[in-house]
Chain A
Amino acid sequence: MKVLVPVKRVIDYNVKARVKADQTGVDLANVKMSMNPFDEIAVEEAVRLKEGKEHHAAGTADEIVVVSIGVQQAQETIRTALAMGADRGLLIQSDTDLEPLAVAKLLKAVVDEEKPDLILMGKQSIDGDNNAVGQMLAALLDWPQATFAGKLVIEGGKATVTREVDGGLQTLAATLPAVVTVDLRLNTPRYASLPNIMKAKKKEIAMKAVADYGVDTAPRLTVQKVTEPPKRSAGVKVTDAADLVAKLKTAGVL
């Protein structure tokens, strides 16, 4: 089975995003960038499918292809995935941040070429917080989707996925090929070992341009402004319960 994992280079999750003074966006100059945390989980699961870790049979996956759409430096993100155990990478270079619809169309073109049996991807990128690309890709391909996966079992040509939903858990069986988007509880991603980082340097990363795919990536959305949300300020300290309860009563919330 071939697994495709789309990964995005985003602001590191430990960094607090700062809005630019001219309200055109978020300041990313000299900010630490990393692989979207959910995509790390997707890569980890793909590697486990290959290794036969946890409940997966060894060799469930035999090839893992990682694809990123983004700036030149997104190669580093792909390299990280290769060091975790993915086999090869593809970077579709774009200097502008593409909208989920355009990303989904490009990924569809990649799928048409690569013909994977399973697409594992993050449920959400932590910059745009869209939570959209996986579902859109599934729709464009006319494939089933299983989003927000907390558990994945591949067996009998199906992906059986336990999904984290409001109210609890829902289990679906999706006929392969399918798109699975992953949630936080699926696994804990590994740190790549030094030998694997060295090995990853020799793995192939194919370079393409958006134009190579001939799909319509024209933006549909115009950002009018990006502003800072209203700030909350620290209030007062209380030292005992009676004081706290009195203050909550005064505030009208008890």
Chain B
Amino acid sequence: MAVLVIADRDGDTVRDTTHKTVTAALKLSGDVDVLVIGQGSRAAADAAAKIARVRKVLLAESDALSHQLAEAVEATVLALADGYDAVLAPATTDGKNYMPRIAAKLDVAPISDIVEVVSNDTFTRPIYAGNALETIQTADAKKVITVRPTAFDAAGEGGSASVEAVAGADAGKAAFVSEEMVKSDRPELGAAKIVVSGGRALGSAEEFHAVMDPLADKLGAAVGASRAAVDAGYAPNDYQVGQTGKVVAPGLYIAIGISGAIQHLAGMKDSKIIVAINKDPDAPIFQVADFGWVADYKTAVPELMTALG
């Protein structure tokens, strides 16, 4: 049984979501290859080749792949699929975008967002906003799976796999127009050890940044937000933590002015330590918080800044 992992490329390297997906893949097979896609990805492929226990890195280059266009990724992977019993990708927005497409073409049931590999054909995944975990067995010979990165440890470095070029498909009937990426020097939400998240209580974009940014900088943290804060335009869409946003599991998660709706909890309840600052003592967030502070954030956050020194 051989497994293909589609890498999550980040410029000249690959994100640790790739390493975590490799860990999940190694539970299925010792023969794990990594596919790195996108024009000018040679350096990223070399980085992937250093992941411990990876057998081989495949490098597929085309402009369409640089933008992760689903039709191009699908065609590229389909051309390789014969050689593999399973294809895995991290459950990022890219993985979620192209993996079901690949599954449909292979006539297999995709398995989304696994948090555990029980055996070769059996996996556990959250459903109902994480209020239940289902363990499912697939009858498909080929498996197409997305992996929740926070549920797996990152594979180490120290590998020396070879890099082999494969054909990269061109764009299909959807063309890239433009992108607007949020620039930040802070750690990425999914990878940060500390996350500070703000909710509707912050009241405006100016206030959100005035309160959250200095705290994040002091803690070396990433900034997240509730849906309400994103919908209201206080924070970019990419900050949303939850059932339908990002899933995070940092060592420390600090929720500020967030009520704790189930959809929000779905994205952060696996954090090691949860702190909640909320002026309503009955806010549901306190039911999952290790440390709850019933306070107005307007006084609590400055106090916290001082106490952190």
> Do A and B come from the same complex?
yes
Seen from chain A, the residues whose Cβ lies within 8 Å of a Cβ on chain B are 11, 13, 16-19, 26, 38, 99-101, 104, 123-124, 126-140, 143-148, 150, 160, 163-175, 178, 183-185, 220-229, 232-242, 244-245, 247-248, 251-254
Partner of B273, one of A227, A242, A253: A253
A184–B244 touching, CB < 8 Å: yes
What CA separation (Å) do A17 and B94 show in the bound complex? 28
Instruction: With both chains docked as a complex, state the minimum distance between the C-beta of A211 and any C-beta of chain B, in angstroms.
Output: 20
B173–A237 touching, CB < 8 Å: no
Query: Which of A166, A224, A247: most chain B CB closer than 10 A?
Result: A166
A174–B246 touching, CB < 8 Å: no
B177–A160 touching, CB < 8 Å: yes
B126 located at the interface, meaning its Cβ lies under 8 Å from any Cβ of chain A in the complex: yes
Give 8 new A-B contacts, CB below 8 A, not counting A130-B100, A132-B112, A184-B244.
Answer: A16-B262, A129-B113, A134-B100, A171-B177, A220-B138, A232-B269, A245-B307, A251-B290
Closest to A146 in B: B174
B307–A223 touching, CB < 8 Å: no
B293–A239 touching, CB < 8 Å: yes
What CA separation (Å) do A99 and B112 show in the bound complex? 12
Q: List 30 A-B contacts (CB under 8 A).
A: A26-B128, A38-B244, A101-B109, A126-B129, A129-B113, A130-B100, A131-B112, A135-B96, A135-B100, A135-B104, A136-B104, A139-B74, A146-B174, A147-B97, A160-B177, A165-B94, A166-B93, A166-B94, A171-B177, A171-B180, A185-B231, A221-B138, A224-B135, A227-B133, A229-B130, A229-B131, A235-B292, A239-B293, A251-B272, A254-B308
What CA separation (Å) do A148 and B93 show in the bound complex? 9
Contacts of A225 in B (CB 8 A): 134-135
Closest to B237 in A: A164
A174–B173 touching, CB < 8 Å: yes
Contact with A along B93-133 (1 / 0, CB 8 A): 11011111111110111111100000000100111111111
B108–A220 touching, CB < 8 Å: yes
Closest to B190 in A: A166
> Which of B50-58, B202-210, B298-306 has 4 or more CB atoms under 8 Å from chain A?
B298-306
B214 located at the interface, meaning its Cβ lies under 8 Å from any Cβ of chain A in the complex: no
A241–B304 touching, CB < 8 Å: yes
Interface size in chain B (residues, C-beta < 8 A): 90
A168–B127 touching, CB < 8 Å: no
Partner of B177, one of A11, A173, A220: A173
B255 located at the interface, meaning its Cβ lies under 8 Å from any Cβ of chain A in the complex: no
Contacts of A232 in B (CB 8 A): 269, 274, 287-288
What CA separation (Å) do A187 and B24 show in the bound complex? 37
A144–B172 touching, CB < 8 Å: yes
Contacts of B193 in A (CB 8 A): 253
Instruction: With both chains docked as a complex, state the minimum distance between the C-beta of A122 and any C-beta of chain B, in angstroms.
Output: 10
Contacts of B177 in A (CB 8 A): 160, 171-173
Contacts of A11 in B (CB 8 A): 128
Instruction: With both chains docked as a complex, state the minimum distance between the C-beta of B128 and any C-beta of chain A, in angstroms.
Output: 4
Contacts of B274 in A (CB 8 A): 232
What CA separation (Å) do A188 and B127 show in the bound complex? 25
What's the dominant secondary structure at chain A's contact region? mixed
What CA separation (Å) do A124 and B113 show in the bound complex? 12
Contacts of B176 in A (CB 8 A): 170-172
**Contacts A17-B129, A150-B237, A172-B174; is A135 near B275 (CB within 8 Å)?**
no
What CA separation (Å) do A235 and B177 show in the bound complex? 48
Partner of A248, one of B180, B263, B275: B275
B156 located at the interface, meaning its Cβ lies under 8 Å from any Cβ of chain A in the complex: no
Q: Which residues from 239 to 265 on chain B have a C-beta closer than 8 Å to any C-beta of chain A?
A: 243-244, 246, 251-252, 262-263
B180–A169 touching, CB < 8 Å: yes
B133–A220 touching, CB < 8 Å: no
Partner of A126, one of B69, B97, B128, B182: B128
What CA separation (Å) do A131 and B92 show in the bound complex? 11
What CA separation (Å) do A163 and B92 show in the bound complex? 13
A222–B174 touching, CB < 8 Å: no
Instruction: With both chains docked as a complex, state the minimum distance between the C-beta of A239 and any C-beta of chain B, in angstroms.
Output: 7
B289 located at the interface, meaning its Cβ lies under 8 Å from any Cβ of chain A in the complex: yes
B40 located at the interface, meaning its Cβ lies under 8 Å from any Cβ of chain A in the complex: no
B131–A17 touching, CB < 8 Å: yes
Instruction: With both chains docked as a complex, state the minimum distance between the C-beta of A127 and any C-beta of chain B, in angstroms.
Output: 6
Query: Which of B133, B193, B269: most chain A CB closer than 10 A?
Result: B133
A104–B227 touching, CB < 8 Å: no
What CA separation (Å) do A221 and B111 show in the bound complex? 9
Partner of B109, one of A143, A146, A221, A238: A221
B194–A130 touching, CB < 8 Å: no
